[in-house]
Amino acid sequence: RSFCSRHMSVSQCCQQTLTFHAYDIKWLPQSCRVVTVGMYARGTGAIQISEIDDEGMKTIDQVEKKAPFKCLTFGTSKHAMRQFASGDFEGNVCVWNVEQPHHPLFSCKGHSSLINAIDGCGGTGIGEGSPELVTGGRDGFVKVWDVRQKDAVLELSPPESSTLDCWAVAFGNSTSSSERMVCAGFSNGDIRIFDLRKNDFVWQTNIQQGVCSLEFQDVGSPVQRLVAGTVDGRCHVLNVASATSKKVFDFPMISLQGHQSTTWSTRHIPTKNRFFSSVGGDGALTIWKCETTKQLLEPVQFQKVLTHQLSDRPVVSMDWCSAKVGLGASCSLDQTIRIFYVDPKQLNK
C-alpha cells in the first residue's frame, strides 16, 4: 500500500513477522542486515538479527534475555567490529557482538529502571572523537558512557523533586576529538543541550509536549537543525545554530503536523539531509523536504513530499540504511518488520 504524491513515492520491498513485541530497529552498518530488539509475551528480552536477500527476509540469529530491551544503537561501532549497544527495562547498558550476540561484551547497571533512549557517537562515519554512548532513563537521569569503564563519565541529574522521564537523547556537534554535545528531551517538553567540552548547558527550551524523538541534521557537523518528535503527532524543527553563544535562544520554531498521534521516531536520510522522515502512532511514514535559501540555517519552508501507510498499528521505530540511500526499515506493534525503498533519484529533485 502506498500513497504517491506528485513529489515522491515509496515501494515496500519485504516484511517479516516477529514472535515478540519490537521497540527499536537499526541497520547493521554497511550490510543488508537489521537488528531488532523488544519483549516476548512472557516478559523477557528479545534480540533478532535479520538478513534481506532476493527471496525476502530471514532470521540469522535470535537471543532471549531476562530483561526486555527498549532501545539500541550502532553509533559507537567500527565497521570491522560490528557491535551495538542496548538499554533495557531494568536499567542495564550492554554492548553486543552481532556475530555472537548471546553474551554481552560489556554490561553495567546504568539507571534505576527503564532506559528509554540510547545514542552513540564515534563509530565509523558517526562524528569525530572517541566512541561514547548517551542514555536517558525513566529516573530522569541523562548519562554519558565510555564503554571501557563501568561508571558513567557524566551524569546529568533531574531537578530535585522532579518526576520527569527522559524520553529521547542524541549526540551532535561531534566535529573533532574535543567537540561534542548531548541533547535530551523530556516528558514535560523540555529540550536541553549540554556541551561536553564546556561542561555546561548551552541551550534549552520547552515545546509544551512530551519529546519522544530527537535527531540533529548531521552528527559530525556544527549544530544546525534539530528535529523533535512529540506526543501530539508533530515534528518540531529547531534552529539551534546559536547554541554555543546563548543559553536561551529566542528562535522561530517550525511545527509540522505529520501524524494523527504520537511521533515515535524522526530520522534524516543519510547524505540527503535536506530530507527527514518520521513514523507515528497512526502507522504512517512521512517525509519532509527543507526548502532553503543560500543560508542553510534559514529554511523558507518544509514541504511534505510523501505519506505512506506502513501499518494499521503504530510504527514505533525506523532507520535508514547508510549503505544504500533510500532503503529503510521499520518495526510496528503488529509485530512486523518492514523494508521499504524510496528511489534516490526522487531525492535529487
Question: Do β-strands 327-332 and 315-320 pair in parallel, antiparallel, or remain unpaired?
Answer: antiparallel
Query: What pTM did the predictor assign?
Result: 0.91
Q: Give the torsion sign (CA, 226, 229, 230, 236).
A: positive
156-161 long-range contacts (CB < 8 A, ≥24 apart) are 156/182, 156/184, 156/192, 156/194
Fill in the amino acid letter for 304.
K
If DSSP states are collapsed to H, E and C, what string results for 166-226? EEEEEEECCCCCCCCEEEEEECCCEEEEEECCCCEEEEEEECCCCEEEEEECCCCCCCCEE
* pLDDT for 115: 98
**Which one, of 287, 245, 329, 299, lies nearest residue 72 by Cα?**
329
Q: What is the pLDDT along the chain (349 residues), one digit of tens a residue?
A: 444 444 578 888 999 999 999 999 999 988 999 999 999 999 999 999 999 998 899 999 999 999 999 999 999 887 778 899 999 999 999 999 999 999 999 999 999 999 999 999 987 667 677 889 999 999 999 999 998 888 999 999 887 667 889 999 999 888 877 889 999 999 999 999 999 988 998 888 899 999 999 999 888 777 778 999 999 999 999 887 754 455 544 556 788 998 999 999 999 998 888 899 999 999 999 999 887 655 544 555 788 988 999 999 999 999 999 888 899 999 999 999 999 999 877 777 6
Task: Measure the CA–CA gap between 278 and 330, rounded to whole angstroms.
Answer: 11
Judged by DSSP in three states, 313 sits in coil
- The C-alpha cell 513477522 sits at 17
Task: Measure the CA–CA gap between 171 and 176, rounded to whole angstroms.
Answer: 13
Q: 44 phi and psi, to 5 degrees?
A: -100, 170
* pLDDT for 7: 58
Q: 333 phi and psi, to 5 degrees?
A: -75, 0
* pLDDT for 261: 93
| Total number of residues shown for the chain | 349
- The C-alpha cell 564515534 sits at 122
Task: Measure the CA–CA gap between 226 and 189, rounded to whole angstroms.
Answer: 14
Number of H-type helices and E-type strands within the chain: 0, 28
End-to-end, the C-alpha distance of the chain in Å comes to 24
* pLDDT for 316: 97
Fill in the amino acid letter for 107.
S
Task: Mention every residue, 6+ apart, whose C-beta is less than 8 A from residue 301.
Answer: 291
Task: Mention every residue, 6+ apart, whose C-beta is less than 8 A from residue 82.
Answer: 28, 97, 98, 99
| DSSP-assigned letters across all residues of 237-302 | EEE-TTTTT-SS-----EEEE--SS-EEEEEEETTEEEEEEEEETTSEEEEEEEEE-SSTTSEEEE
Fill in the amino acid letter for 163.
T
* pLDDT for 19: 96
Task: Measure the CA–CA gap between 113 and 119, rounded to whole angstroms.
Answer: 18
Is residue 284 within 8 Å of residue 259, measured between CB atoms?
Answer: yes
